[in-house]
């Protein structure tokens, strides 16, 4: 079962860009998502903890994230949540990781300017036109081969694991 999660928070570490031995781009960073609650006794909002996530992006999303995101940026992202146990021999713990499907700046906190990426060959990218492909109401991009998009990390499990192990990143 895959758990999909949407998180808002601040990028807490500078994004790191890597490539697998197969040439797949990966950009990773940490996000701090502060939790707040309203305290009726004081009639004010108070901080009630912070959740920390390691976010991984792949392929073109990784390239765009590296160019667009910086430490301190407020973002909103969605992706698949994974909880991993780790053990360094001295400490043990669990880390929350998100394989991001999409990321954007949180416009509640500021402004951003979007620049569309050019398609290969230098011509402007064409926005996909979504069409109803059946009487069942399924939607697909023409030529996309189906109603479900392929997850960005599909088929990368071994490469991603080895890229993080090579970098010595403790989970």
Q: Please, what are the domains in the chain?
A: 3-40+47-114+130-165 (2.40.50.140)
- Kindly give the confidence (pLDDT) of every residue in the chain, 171 residues in length, as a single tens digit, with 9 standing for 90 and above: 578 999 999 999 999 999 999 999 999 999 999 988 899 999 998 988 999 999 999 999 999 999 999 999 999 999 999 999 999 999 999 999 999 999 999 999 999 888 888 765 444 555 555 555 555 555 554 444 444 444 555 556 666 565 555 555 444
CB 28 within 8 A of CB 11: no
**Based on the number of CB atoms within 10 Å of its own CB, is 49 exposed (0-12), middle (13-18) or buried (19 or more)?**
exposed
Q: CA 23 to CA 128: how far, in whole Å?
A: 26
């Amino acid at each position: 079962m895959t758990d999909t999660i949407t998180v808002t928070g601040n990028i807490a570490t500078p994004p790191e860009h890597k490539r697998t031995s197969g040439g797949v781009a990966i950009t990773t960073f940490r996000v701090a998502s502060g939790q707040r609650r309203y305290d009726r006794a004081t009639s004010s909002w108070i901080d009630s903890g912070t959740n920390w996530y390691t976010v991984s992006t792949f392929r073109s999303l990784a390239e765009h994230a590296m160019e667009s995101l910086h430490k301190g940026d407020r973002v909103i992202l969605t992706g698949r949540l994974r909880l991993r146990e780790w053990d360094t021999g001295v400490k043990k713990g669990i880390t929350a990781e998100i394989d991001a499907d999409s990321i954007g700046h949180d416009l509640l906190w500021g402004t951003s300017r979007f620049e569309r990426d050019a398609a290969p060959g230098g011509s402007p990218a064409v926005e996909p036109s979504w069409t109803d492909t059946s009487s069942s109401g399924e939607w697909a991009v023409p030529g996309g081969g189906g109603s479900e998009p392929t997850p960005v990390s599909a088929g990368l499990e071994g490469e991603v694991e080895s890229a993080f192990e090579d970098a010595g990143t403790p989970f």
